[in-house]
Amino acid sequence: MDGHELIEARFSDSNHLNVMTLWKDKDNNIVEQLISADPTQPQWQQLMKHTNEKAVWDRTAEWKIEEKRKFDAYIEPLVEKAISERLEERVKESYPHIVDELEVKRNEVLRNAMAIDKMATDNKTLLDDIEELNNLVKRTFREKEALSTDNQKLLRNIELQIGRIKEGHITSSTSTMAETLVNAIANHNNSSELLFKLKLEIFKIEKIKNNKVKKLKTDIRKAKTVFELFNVIKNKI
């Protein structure tokens, strides 16, 4: 084609009777032209001025390889999917009990994974709360020699339980860890000495000291037990 650059020439049929040519004009537009592979025809003779017969054969072989790769890339996932679906159907038909058991196990694994994730979050929250409580108790019992024997035992017990939790020695569930700490305090829930010292220490906390709600401080003073006191100040510090 006059004024065009030859881009490609290859046989377009299995009998090699026709050649598909691609030409590019000066505006980079691509034009297709199908010509006869007859050496006696003017179009073939004109084509041979831009290429040669060996190049046409070589390009044809390359094109076939490229097309096969495209076909394989398209068809292979479809074949694999069909085989997988058929295999799954046959397994379900032949071994339904195994399929059901595997599904149960899969769901169980998913539930356990979700439970572990939630437990990890709960444990982090619990440890943060325990650490805050431990610091409060330590501030309250800063002078251990001033404590009664019972309260000294309580402080040591609380510190021991917190230490075991931090070091991973308590490997039970979150509820078990909480129960351990709660029981340690519950044994001295009605201790007037412990309650008095806790109130003094709580009033030193900035968020309590600067709180403008008078009822909060009144409720702290009126608290009759340790648990009641903790309930009053929860979410306040």
pTM score: 0.37
End-to-end CA distance of the chain: 87
Q: What percent of the chain shows pLDDT beyond 90?
A: 27
- pLDDT tens across 84-124, in order? 888 877 767 776 766 677 777 777 777 776 776 666 565 56
Q: Which residue has the higher pLDDT, 227 or 58?
A: 58
What's the number of CA atoms in the CB half-sphere (13 Å) around residue 144? Answer: 8
Residue 174, pLDDT above cutoff 60: no
Return the pLDDT at 34. Answer: 95
Per-residue pLDDT, averaged over 138-162, amounts to 61
Return the pLDDT at 119. Answer: 62
Could you give the CA distance from residue 123 to residue 178 in angstroms, rounded to a whole number? 10
Return the pLDDT at 137. Answer: 62
Could you give the CA distance from residue 219 to residue 221 in angstroms, rounded to a whole number? 5
Alpha helix segments (H runs only) across 13-148? 42-47, 53-94, 96-140
Could you give the CA distance from residue 154 to residue 149 in angstroms, rounded to a whole number? 9
180-189 burial code (b ≥16 CB/10 A, e <16): bbeebbeebb
